[in-house]
Amino acid sequence: MLGKKKKGEEEEEVRAFLGKGAEFTGKLIFNGSVRIDGDFKGDIFGNGTLVIGEGAEVEADIRVDSVLVSGEVRGQIDVKKRLQIYSTGKVLGDVNAPAFSVDEGAFFEGNCHMTRTETEVHALPLERSADAGKG
């Protein structure tokens, strides 16, 4: 359901929606939040959150900020923030994400590479001893 949010889901206005029974093939580029409840094939790029609803079937290479999966996704997923696979979700493909969680009952088949967020990279302390640079 469009207005129903699962625990931990960001409060963001849905800017585009592909409903159940609808099919789309091509490239989707967006800002904000997009929800797919139908069938999508192609590429998805965006600055924001992609929500894959229960019953949705997506075959795509995905590069967005966050992905919340309750349906099925096949393809490469690269996220800047997080990937969440809910209990009804299924992901078949490789994942690059700084944060990745899989609920009990969910399905994941592929490889996962945990990337550092930009904040974490800048927050790392310099590994320099107090005697460094002294002769």
The predicted structure's pLDDT at residue 117: 60
Let me know if residue 131 belongs to a domain. no
How far, in Å, CA of 39 to CA of 73, rounded? 10
Would you say residue 8 lies in a domain?
no
What are the CB-based long-range contacts (under 8 Å, 24+) for 59-67?
66/10
Residue 9 lies in a domain: no
* pLDDT tens track for 74-93: 999 999 999 999 999 999 99
Please give the tally of structural domains in the chain.
1
Which domain range does residue 25 map to? 14-123
Task: Evaluate whether residue 41 is within a structural domain.
Answer: yes
* Alpha carbons 58 and 88: distance in angstroms, whole number: 14
Q: Is the whole-model pTM more than 0.75? A: yes
In-domain check, residue 113 = yes
* Residue 1, domain member (yes or no): no
- How is residue 84 written in tokens? 């969440």
Structural domain contains residue 135: no
